Amino acid sequence: MLFSSPNLRMAPKLGILAGGGPLPGHLIEACRETGRQFFVIGFEGQADPIVIGNAPHAWVRLGAAKTALDRLRAEGVEDIVMAGPVRRPTLKELRPDRRAARFLARGLLNRGDNSLLGAIVRTLEEDEGFRVVGADAVLGDMRAPNGPFGRFEPDPGSKEDIAHGMRVLTDTGHLDIGQAVIVQQGIVLGLEAAEGTSGLLERCAALHREGRGGVLVKQPKLGQELRADMPTVGPDTIAGAINSGLAGIAIGAGNTLILDRTKLVAEADKAGLFVVGIRPGDYCTDE
């Protein structure tokens, strides 16, 4: 993977707040290839030690906000990127310090992810003086393009399922539930919740119906803070779709990150799955 943007080489030192999944590793690789200085805060019980590897880092408990912020300042970090899913803990698990309690004092713990992530971004910028950037600003041109990625395209039946999935996500977006839905032959098999897209795929594998396979439709939620939580797909998503018997995947063009696109397309083509970037106007969402 090559990252050639000249702006990254001149950019301020980056702090990577690492949750789970492979995204923190891609950010580390991008910084190394462009020469950008960086430092990783790995959240204990969330980030994968193998993904962080030998990158400069510190392990911090999720509720220890002061420790994390003080370390970022000591390392000379100016920009912050939030990378990877974080399982939301209970208050007992979180054990928030006084700095972390700023978020909770606003009653945000019981709200949805959109409100919480938006408040975190505002607090980091307005109260703590950092600049929050999206992962896409570091990784370069990894946003999903419009149209099919590989050799396969959705047939008319799959297009109907995509349109229905978009209707479902539009109607549920204000509830701040999840970014994805699986539809097969007009039937909603599952809506993403706290388990994430991989969990949704696992859950719906047992619900697969005979006949044409279903479609995973993934789009940002209404009002989603994309700098903190841009939808992401990668080869693992393809593997989950194959195991769930899906016909393909439709993702938001321009607002979804594609990790390891070459491998993703190769695995999808090998399995006969379509992967397509979509915009709201591409499909009729009227009943």
Q: Which two tokens stand for residue 277?
A: 């970037």
27: burial class by Cβ within 10 Å (0-12, 13-18, 19+)?
buried
What separation in angstroms does the CA of 88 have from each of 23, 111, 114, 122?
18, 11, 13, 19
* pLDDT value of position 111: 54
Of 25 and 107, the one with more pLDDT: 25
Could you tell me the residue ranges of all domains in the chain?
6-139, 147-282
Q: Return the CATH fold of 147-282.
A: Cytidine Deaminase; domain 2 (3.40.140)
* pLDDT value of position 114: 52
CATH 3.40.50.2300 fits 6-139, yes or no: no
Distance from C-alpha of 150 to C-alpha of 270, rounded to nearest angstrom = 10
Closest CA to 36 of 88, 93, 84, 79: 79
Distance from C-alpha of 83 to C-alpha of 41, rounded to nearest angstrom = 10
Can you tell me whether residue 215 is helix, strand or coil? Answer: strand
pLDDT in tens, 209-256: 898 999 999 998 777 777 877 889 999 999 999 999 999 999 999 889
Instruction: Provide the whole-model pTM.
Output: 0.81
Identity of the amino acid at 123: T
pLDDT in tens, 131-171: 999 898 898 778 899 999 999 999 999 999 999 999 999 88
